[in-house]
Amino acid sequence: MADEKEKQEEQKAQMADEKTDKKTDESQTSKKNTGLLKWITLAAVIVLCACAGFGVGRLFGSSRKTAANESPQKEASAQIEDLKTNDSAAGPQKSWYYVMEPVVANLDVPGVTRFVRVSLILQISSELDEKKGTDFLNTKKPVLTNWLNIYLASLSLEDIRGDKNLRRIQSQIIDAFNEKLFPGSKPQISEVLFKEFAIQ
């Protein structure tokens, strides 16, 4: 009988130990879950703060960017007003010309070195004073020459052959030059003439 009591007591002790182990495991699992939940919550808060900061930055950044874009256009408009002629008798027949220096650019032709040499004459609207306009174009000449070099280097031999292609090139040059020189205002270059267009 004593043996049975000892066995029962041992079983009770084992059961108590198992319950204690179970409670310890459950509390450790609960602590792990709580710790994991804290990290997930912290990560969610960080992501929300970052998104909110990004949104606020975009909101205020776009308003500054719009104001910054309007300022150069206003300056360009004011500059164009300064360039305009005071002569009320000026008409469309009294436009003037600005001769650009020749530009030489390698064509986009694989395996062969081919280049084009182009000299342009810009026909300028009579609205602009010739002396002021010439000074203005002289200061902007590096920008125009750079754009023209890059543009011509992007063309292939097929892109520049034939009168249809030359007219397209003239049109693209007019649009680009007017955009670079007179952004957001009336175009003042009415025509681009080829003084020289040589392919070698």
Residue 106 predicted with pLDDT over 70 = yes
Cα distances (angstroms) measured from residue 180 to each of 1, 46, 66: 109, 44, 19
Mean pLDDT of 72-93: 58
pLDDT of residue 154: 92
Place of tokens 């450790």: 28
pLDDT of residue 14: 75
Contact 119, 97 (CB under 8 A): no
The 10s digit of each residue's pLDDT in 53-81 is 666 566 555 544 444 455 555 565 566 66
The three-class DSSP label of residue 185 is: coil
Q: Which of 30-39, 57-66, 76-85, 121-130 has the highest mean pLDDT?
A: 121-130
Question: Considering the domain 92-199 in this protein, what is its CATH number?
Answer: 3.30.479.30
pTM of the model: 0.58
Residue 117 predicted with pLDDT over 90 = yes
Q: Name residue 122's beta-bridge partners.
A: 98, 192
The 10s digit of each residue's pLDDT in 135-146 is 999 999 999 999
97 compared with 80, residue with greater pLDDT: 97
Domain regions of the chain by residue span: 1-83, 92-199
First-to-final CA distance of the chain: 119
Residue 167 predicted with pLDDT over 80 = yes
pLDDT of residue 59: 58
Least confident piece of the model among 15-29, 32-46, 109-123, 173-187: 15-29
pLDDT tier at 91 (50, 70, 90 boundaries)? Answer: very low
Residue 177 predicted with pLDDT over 90 = yes
Contact 106, 115 (CB under 8 A): yes
Average pLDDT, the chain: 79
Q: HEC states along 55-113?
A: HHHHHHHHHHHHHHHHHHHHHHHHHHHHHECCCCCCCHHHCEEEECCCEEEECCCCCCC
